[in-house]
Structure 1
């Protein structure tokens, strides 16, 4: 008798035009009904069985662009309901803003955490506080960025990074060689990978070569494997810090660029223009810089910082682990105040370590690594003021008094000596000792004066 109502409920749930879905306690999709299929344009067969991770994915061709939206927020122990605004990517590339209402079902076994039922609805106008979440900001921004430039895994809200995003789109389509300029750790290799994997050569290998951290032998061996391979498969070579590449290897790279088999991307911290022929082959310099992209330092990206931190945090979410939702206000304040000398690489390391330590969905100050706290404290310590000795302080005062007297006397040394109540010859000696200019005629007069013996 009890199976018939359950079957009826299951049939209604799967065929209803109201977008409904069900997740188990591991956030695996169990039900993705007809309403969800019509709304997202994704068939249930490609969504059911997938694990939902709290990650913003903007490419509508990936199922993660849907499952990332279906991931529920962190529930309190006795909480049974929560709402969450989302940015929904349909399979045709259109973007919808919706709100998902999550209901946690009581399990029959108290040892289980229960399932979640989600209802996708029009966004409510009565919950404006939800629309300011950092996670939603990242979802909105990455969706806009993908729609405009077809770029994923990039934060580019600042004007400088908007320019980088536009240049990435150009570099993907037409430019054979791109040179990236920016401080160490600012994300130049990440930009190079975005260029490569978004181009028509995305199926080729991407081979990074560290020109400043590898020996001549190591670089030469890597180039030999690429250039002298019998298969002659085209690859994209990324020459990091190319200004440190030895001259003989520069000639090899230039010869291969003239052949046109492989694509060469490169980077440096301050560009190649200032390098003379003793450090950089002039022809190679021109060939590598068909397009120059300047990647700004993290401190010059404004609001990109917190969005980038949120994106990096979401990338730490794993199927079997806690789904991190964001940072506390205190952590965001510290992030804004810190100078980030290690650039994006340092931010990524801090976020990764904090995510591993955090025991709740919101990363707090106590979760930040110790070296970040040490760096922040060192940044706050001001250098000690330079203290002058008594003799140096007296010399400063004496110089000021003499200059003031000379100004009042209109540079007449005799009058200045009277103002200072000292012999003129002594004034000359003190001016010479303090480095004050003495006219040539005054010098001759000083030497002839009997007062010079005083």
Structure 2
């Protein structure tokens, strides 16, 4: 009894040592030093049970070091006793162990003659073993077993504290990363909203501002939106602005041009398909309905949908569910729908080309975007922005627009709208020598001119050029005519002619030489 009491006196010191660090392995040597005066062991070891068996967690010995891998629990002859929560006292290893068990055989080979091992119990589950060994037989007794059981309880508490601290550190790291990701998402979301927001749509024409005001009104709602207008008027840009101003801004904005795909593929693109649904369908593919989940689906040129696809789209809008092509599973349709068309859907309905019931589903809120020719001075504002953006990308700087170019931009009918404007500016920048962009460099001709007198300001046509010739006039010819006319008006004064064309005098000489015009 006296020896038992003496042994238990070490427990407070064990608790103190274990309380000095949240890394038990780090202070295991100190623990060994505190316990050694009482147990005088040769080996002290602790192992934790992992899914793949026993893991050598820490190991202290007079000679030798921790094994790279601990023995599996089932390799001990006393496994059943330990797993039931029973402490194991072996007074004489040679007689009490079974060498047919690999772990028992290893103990004998290491020269241990006696040991005491107690289970590490977490809650009601055995999660490891903790024990002491001696190279002399009969070294440990029942009193020592009780002391080791007390120490083991403190080791369990220390390990639990360590794991809790590690989990808190992991959570803190995860929360920190999550906060960084959230901040990055907010930055990207802000950048997207700024890039695609209504404020990025240039123009002051009343018809455009009215259309954008209506778009801003409907953006927070789930209502389907029908965008109408000629090709190139910016319908997709407005659709993106609606998406990023909506409650679905965090979700995807998925766009598809219904006119760009043949009838045989459009259904698969919208609904997706299962593997083997048709020839070439070698794997399952999600459709745009699925990809747009939680966000917005933009169907451009919706008036080009085949009648069979129109009927299926109507059902999706009514039932809010769909099936992949070749599939039987019913999927939920969770997207906000925005459609666009450059066709008159009312006329299409009258001709039986567009379903009336689908039209009324789509046209709950219609927004018409005006063509560029009806937006007045907006065309110059847009052209300046395109010059700035493309000029920077093409390494041309920001050359600006000459007066004749501005006049031409305002009077040209722009059948291709903003898309045609962008093409004209890019074409002008390619041939530009770095000065102001001229009307001739824009390379614009109006089909159906009735006479040479109907030419655009700043791009005079020679008397011999007919309306048909004007439509086919090349950029070089237009440039030649513009320079010739400027020189004529300036009575041969190169400086004045260059100023009228928006270029330098030396650049005018270069053009005269390149075009084969006399410089005198």
TM-score, scaled relative to structure 1: 0.46
Which is greater in Rg?
A: 2
TM-score, scaled relative to structure 2: 0.41
Q: Which structure is richer in relative contact order (CA contacts within 8 A, separation 6 or more)?
A: 1
